[in-house]
């Protein structure tokens, strides 16, 4: 009895320490980073873009999600990922998309070389396009940039971390 309680506590703690996010694409689970909320100042509907990156056997997957006003709006075309070292990764559209609960998501695939770049350098911004049908009170469409910022505003006196450490989390995958 004396040994069971400490052993149970140890197992619970180790289980929480190894907890990892999952991304499910085409009913396959992949280990993934946390869901980052990047700031997209020009997107008036919410001003936010959710970003998640998963590791696969052949590289990785980027999942972009934005809230939309209607089901016609989609993330369309390729995306450009600007890295902190001024390098750019261009991802082509493979037409893997989903829409649910007022949000639209698009998936983009990384080669092993591109995924290696993401492990070494933080993401600075992601450039993407939202396309949709013309409605009177429809969704905002056009070209947008989601920046790796935690908050909209900060002061010069604020010394806290202002962006996500994407390279650190991706390298752990």
**Distance in angstroms (rounded) separating the CA atoms of residues 92 and 77:** 7
**Distance in angstroms (rounded) separating the CA atoms of residues 140 and 16:** 40
Indicate whether this model's pTM tops 0.85: no
Q: What is the pLDDT of residue 7?
A: 46
21-172 has which fold?
Immunoglobulin-like (2.60.40)
Work out the pLDDT band at 160, boundaries 50, 70, 90.
confident
Which is it for strands 103-110 and 59-67: parallel, antiparallel or unpaired?
antiparallel
For the stretch 60-80, pLDDT in tens is 999 999 999 888 889 999 999
Is it the case that residue 15 has pLDDT exceeding 50?
Answer: no
Q: Where are the domains of the chain?
A: 21-172
């Amino acid at each position: 009895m004396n040994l069971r309680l400490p052993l149970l506590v140890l197992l619970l703690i180790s289980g929480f320490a190894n907890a990892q996010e999952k991304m499910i694409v085409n009913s396959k689970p992949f280990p993934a980073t946390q869901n980052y909320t990047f700031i997209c100042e020009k997107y008036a509907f919410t001003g936010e873009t959710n970003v998640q990156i998963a590791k696969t056997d052949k590289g990785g997957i980027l999942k972009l999600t934005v809230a939309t006003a209607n089901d016609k709006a989609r993330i369309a075309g390729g995306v450009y990922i600007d890295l902190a070292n001024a390098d750019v990764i261009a991802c082509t559209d493979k037409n893997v998309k989903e829409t649910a609960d007022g949000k639209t998501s698009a998936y983009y695939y990384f080669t092993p070389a591109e995924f290696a770049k993401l492990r070494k350098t933080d993401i600075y911004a992601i450039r993407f396009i939202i396309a949709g049908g013309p409605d009177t009170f429809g969704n905002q469409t056009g070209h947008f940039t989601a920046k790796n910022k935690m908050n909209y505003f900060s002061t010069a006196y604020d010394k806290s971390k202002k962006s996500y450490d994407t390279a650190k989390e991706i390298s752990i995958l």
